Amino acid sequence: MPLLVMKFGGTSVADLERIRNAADKVRREVERGYDVIVIVSAMSGKTNELVGWVEETSPMFDAREYDAVVSSGENITAGLMSLTLQEMDIPARSWQGWQVPLKTTSVHSAARIEEIPRDNIDAKFAEGMRVAVVAGFQGISPEGRITTLGRGGSDTTAVAFAAAFDAERCDIYTDVDGVYTTDPRISAKARKLDKIALEEMLELASLGAKVLQTRSVELAMRYNVRLRVLSSFEENNENSGTLVCAEEEIMEQNIVSGVAHSRDEAKMTLTSVADRPGIAAAIFGPLAEAGVNVDMIIQNISEDGRTDMTFSCPTNQVERAKAAMQKVKDDGVINYAGLVADTDVAKVSVVGIGMRSHTGVASQMFQALSAEGINIKVISTSEIKISVLVDRKYMELAVQALHDEFGLEKAG
């Protein structure tokens, strides 16, 4: 039988009524002739509650026990979903990560999937099971300990199962009805996309769009898994939601597909740094070792052998970046006059695979921002993306102006 993977996030299984609603969607796919692997998250708020209990019990907690506790939320949902399906006379069975087994690395709370053997689940399908309900977000380490994949790990679990079992598609059910051209809360003109390329979705996810977790899209790109984003709270058909697929499946579309934003950005500048070979490595190597996620980088023109180096990072990593730079200065690795942090900025980006074959997108973007009196602080580009840092107070205006400029309210 053809196989479908269906993933339900925390808001989709927040209580028993919503679990029954999700189970009804699974039932319909079984009636259409699919065997189904359902990936479930913990009930909404449960993971935060479990994390709070761990931190209250043991501030310097053992990461192995942290995973044992925090992974239990998904186990509860998987069992309840299986019981609900059984009440609908659908042969269903719950699976915890270690029962599959979903094999991961040993990095607790941030494990990466290494292998998903099919044998156990395939054997149960052969015996008549129609639905395998798998607890998302968790696996088992080579040492036999429970591991978790990090926040958003259930999306990654779902895509990994779709790849391992050659699923026809991986449906991600959430509290929105698809992927939009921008955040509908910012622009009333935001339009739901029928299709979006995996590469575009990866850029949007990494730039602040919250619909899909970045690692899950990376995995989908690697194994060419077709994703569909759907609402758990609406009636759906084969045309519902947004299909996230290979670029070849998209006939025509706008040059720019979406506008993303991220509020939690900081601009940091090291002033009067020696302009010499190896200086960039001396700065960004220690930042990487300190776990600082550097994005945009700009180096000013050198004067008298000195230069300024500017980079952006998430606001919650500013203190970590300061500490790393102070250490390399104290150790005599580099010398600089000062470190200036501006935490009142936001990142706004336009994304589109059509940018590969069209010129003038950057000019059009910059002119639109200029017309609104918005100053650009930093610019970063890739083949299908242009990002700028602007004052945070102008973020929503910038998003609206760019959405209008590129006519994203109209279908391509």
For 171-189, what is each residue's pLDDT tens digit? 999 988 899 999 988 998 9
- Residue 185 in marked binding region: yes
Q: Is 174 assigned to a binding site? A: yes
Percent of the chain with pLDDT over 70: 99
The predicted-structure confidence for 82-140, as pLDDT tens digits, reads as follows 999 999 999 999 999 999 999 999 999 999 999 999 999 999 999 999 999 999 999 99
The verdict on residue 284 lying in a domain is: yes
Banded pLDDT at 302 (limits 50, 70, 90) = confident
Query: Is 28 annotated as contributing to ligand binding?
Result: no
Query: What's the structural domain count of the chain?
Result: 2
Residue 242 is assigned to a ligand binding site: no
Of 175, 191, 225, the one marking the end of a domain is: 175
For residue 211, the model assigns a pLDDT of: 80
Residue 309 placed within a domain: yes
User: Is 187 inside a domain boundary?
Assistant: no
Total length of the chain: 412
Q: Cα–Cα distance between 82 and 23 in angstroms, integer?
A: 9
* 77 is an annotated ligand-binding site residue: no
Q: Are residues 19 and 153 in the same domain?
A: yes
Between 33-37, 161-165, 249-253, the lowest mean confidence (pLDDT) is in: 249-253
169 and 38 assigned to the same domain: yes
Do 9 and 153 belong together in one domain? yes
- The answer to the question of residue 183 being in a domain is no
Say if residue 377 carries a ligand binding annotation.
Answer: no
Q: What is the pLDDT of residues 2-38, one digit of tens each?
A: 999 999 999 999 999 999 999 999 999 999 999 999 9
Q: Please check if 74 is assigned to a binding site.
A: yes
Residue 192, annotated ligand binder?
no
- pLDDT value of position 213: 84
Per-residue pLDDT at 410: 83
Q: Is the pLDDT of residue 40 over 80?
A: yes
Contacts of 199-204 with CB under 8 Å at 24 or more apart are 199/247, 199/353, 199/384, 200/257, 200/258, 200/351, 200/352, 200/353, 200/384, 201/227, 201/244, 203/260, 203/349, 203/351, 203/382, 203/384, 203/385, 204/179, 204/258, 204/260, 204/351
> Could you say which of 175, 201, 231 is where a domain stops?
175
Q: 240 in a domain, yes or no?
A: no
User: What is the residue-averaged pLDDT of the chain?
Assistant: 93
Question: Is 227 within the bounds of a domain?
Answer: no
- 381 labelled ligand-binding: no
Residue whose C-alpha is closest to residue 84's, from 8, 1, 175: 8
**Which of 175, 207, 238 is a domain's end point?**
175
* 7 annotated among ligand-binding-site residues: yes
In terms of average pLDDT, the best of 297-306, 322-331, 356-365 is 322-331
Residue 318 lies in a domain: yes
For position 372, which CATH number holds?
3.30.2130.10
One domain, residues 8 and 156: yes
Q: Which of 20-29, 206-215, 230-239, 320-329 has the lowest mean pLDDT?
A: 206-215
Q: What is the CATH number of the domain that holds 59?
A: 3.40.1160.10
Check the annotation: does 66 bind a ligand: no
- Domain contains 180: no
Instruction: Indicate if the pLDDT at residue 217 is higher than 80.
Output: yes
Query: Is residue 252 scored above 70 in pLDDT?
Result: no
pTM of structure: 0.85
Q: Which residues, listed in sequence order, are joined to residue 307 by a DSSP beta bridge?
A: 273
The parent domain of residue 71 ranges over 3-175
- 169 and 269 in a single domain? The answer is no
Confidence grade of residue 289 (pLDDT, cut at 50, 70, 90) = very high
DSSP-derived pairing of the beta strands 242-245 and 103-104 = unpaired
Q: Which of 81-95, 212-226, 279-293 tops mean pLDDT?
A: 81-95
Same domain for 165 and 304?
A: no
Q: Binding site annotation covers 180? A: yes
pLDDT of 237 > 80? The answer is no
